[in-house]
Amino acid sequence: MNTSSSPKTNSMTYRDAGVDIDAGDALVERIKPAARRTMRPEVLGGIGGFGALFEISKKYREPVLVSGTDGVGTKLRLAFQLNRHDSIGQDLVAMSVNDILVQGAEPLFFLDYFACGKLDVGTAATVVEGIAKGCELAGCALIGGETAEMPDMYPAGEYDLAGFAVGAVEKAKIIDGKSISPGDTVLGLASSGAHSNGYSLIRRIVERAQPDLAADFHGQPFADALIAPTRIYVKSLLKLMEMLPVKGMAHITGGGITGNVPRVLPENVTAVIEKSAWTLPPLFQWLQREGNVADDEMHRVFNCGIGMVVVVAAADAARASELLTAAGETVYAIGRIEARQAGQEQTIIR
């Protein structure tokens, strides 16, 4: 039996297998200017190394690093449907930087992971430019990332995203909610829309209702209302923390108001939220009506117009509202902290 190999007439390349190294290199060159705009003095080196170098600022005496990672969930499917890739990167940044912010951390740097079946340089660059914009809004450096072209792993034209943020806080200034006590005031900062949560339900409601996505919806196309990027609260809340004591913060993401506020409360207190304190934004009114969604379900799935909750002493509430409003936030006094009764939920919306 002849086991010798037959002559190979056609040599194969990585491109033949579906991976275009040149496209990856072109993407890196294209996104360098966007990444450069996010640089901070602590960054050592630039995009392209095997690892990203970041020196912790000498302003910290006892720095504690705070890290977070997240994606944008099925909001990506809406981006594919609408062919809108310019703001999904801001969503990616927001989900991680807002999370680490609530412990008092200043976001320092961000890394992204972009995975696809076949790399479209234009689409990928648009996404990364949105990530860079988010980093600028958060004041952190886009210090590195990974682009993975993996044939047969994703449908044509689709991709997945993951983000990773690292921040720092002075050890003595970590915000952990332990000082929250009865009588404190609960402030709510307005969201910019559904942010990046509840989109599996949102897409089902849209499929059922079949709205005209180009139609005017309170001054903007309905599609814009659906895909509005997640608000980044970093700069306004860092300023607030410099000016007065913040006892606790909750980023309202998956789990809604009722699922996230308890995460920052001591066991002996309850947050009583008055839903009459703010008007349910039009998008959420539409979702509730068209989906016939119960109030309790709305509050545990969506942010319902409140993207961040801040707890301060009652004596500081007016000043905190003034400072946040001056920084560009829309602020509502949405409730108070009370002593928790036996068997009582830690967040009550009434």
Which value, to the nearest 10 degrees, does the dihedral of the CA atoms of residues 65, 184, 300, 324 take?
Answer: -70
Judged against a pLDDT cut of 70, whether residue 289 lies above it is answered with yes
pLDDT > 90: what percent of the chain? 85
pLDDT in tens, 131-146: 999 999 999 999 988 9
Q: For residue 60, how many other CB atoms are within 10 A of its CB?
A: 14
The stretch 300-314 carries a mean pLDDT of 97
Judged against a pLDDT cut of 80, whether residue 49 lies above it is answered with no
- Cα–Cα distances (Å) from 245 to 232, 241, 314, in that order, read 21, 6, 11
Domains in the chain, start-ordered, CATH in brackets?
21-173 (3.30.1330.10), 185-349 (3.90.650.10)
Judged against a pLDDT cut of 80, whether residue 20 lies above it is answered with no
The one-letter amino acid code at 258 reads: T
Q: In the prediction, which pLDDT does 162 show?
A: 97
Q: In the prediction, which pLDDT does 23 show?
A: 80
pLDDT in tens, 102-121: 999 999 999 999 999 999 99
pLDDT in tens, 241-261: 999 999 999 999 989 999 999
When mean pLDDT is compared across 53-57, 186-190, 303-307, the lowest value belongs to 53-57
pLDDT band at 7 (very low <50, low <70, confident <90, very high): low
The stretch 56-71 carries a mean pLDDT of 95
**Counting Cβ atoms within 10 Å, is residue 141 exposed (0-12), middle (13-18) or buried (19+)?**
buried
The stretch 89-110 carries a mean pLDDT of 98
Q: b/e per residue, 6-40, with b = 16+ CB within 10 A?
A: eeeeeeeeeeeeebbeebeeebbebbeebbeebee
Q: For residue 147, how many other CB atoms are within 10 A of its CB?
A: 19
**Counting Cβ atoms within 10 Å, is residue 257 exposed (0-12), middle (13-18) or buried (19+)?**
buried
Rounded mean pLDDT of the chain? 93
pLDDT band at 11 (very low <50, low <70, confident <90, very high): confident
pLDDT > 70: what percent of the chain? 97
Judged against a pLDDT cut of 70, whether residue 8 lies above it is answered with no
The stretch 40-66 carries a mean pLDDT of 88
d(CA 161, CA 74): 11
Judged against a pLDDT cut of 90, whether residue 266 lies above it is answered with yes
Cut 0.85: pTM above it: yes
pLDDT in tens, 217-242: 999 999 999 999 999 999 999 999 99
- Closest to 306 measured CA to CA, from 285, 334, 327: 334
